[in-house]
Amino acid sequence: MGMTDRALRIESTLRQTFAPTALQIVDDSARHAGHAGAAPGGQTHYSVVMVAASFEGVSRVERSRAVHAALAGELAGGLHALALTLRTPAEAERLR
């Protein structure tokens, strides 16, 4: 199954905002069916793994805030939850 409209919008926004070297977006909505914030048809819960040089010297909290700010429109429009893994290229390399 291809990416949903929301996933494509998330990807486009994150690429424009953070210029990541790696970006993976997974729709986890099906795993949350019946939970708070889950909607029929999904597109409510996403996991994002992003590697970006712009995260150098930025705390985990600030990285998360920046992503939430970039996706404020989606969060206001039905996106319920983001599971974020945000790393610098050096961090990603160390974890390889």
Residue 96 pLDDT exceeds 60: yes
What's the whole-number mean pLDDT along residues 71-77? 93
**Tens-digit pLDDT profile for residues 5-49:** 899 999 999 999 999 999 999 988 777 556 555 555 667 889 999
pLDDT at 35: 59
Domains along the chain with CATH numbers? 5-95 (3.30.300.90)
CB-hemisphere CA count at 13 Å for 75?
11
pLDDT band at 92 (very low <50, low <70, confident <90, very high): very high
**Taking the model in full, what pTM does it have?**
0.84
What percent of the chain lies above the pLDDT cut of 70?
Answer: 85
Q: State residue 78 phi and psi, 5-degree precision.
A: 115, -15
70/64 Cα distance (integer angstroms)? 10
pLDDT at 8: 94
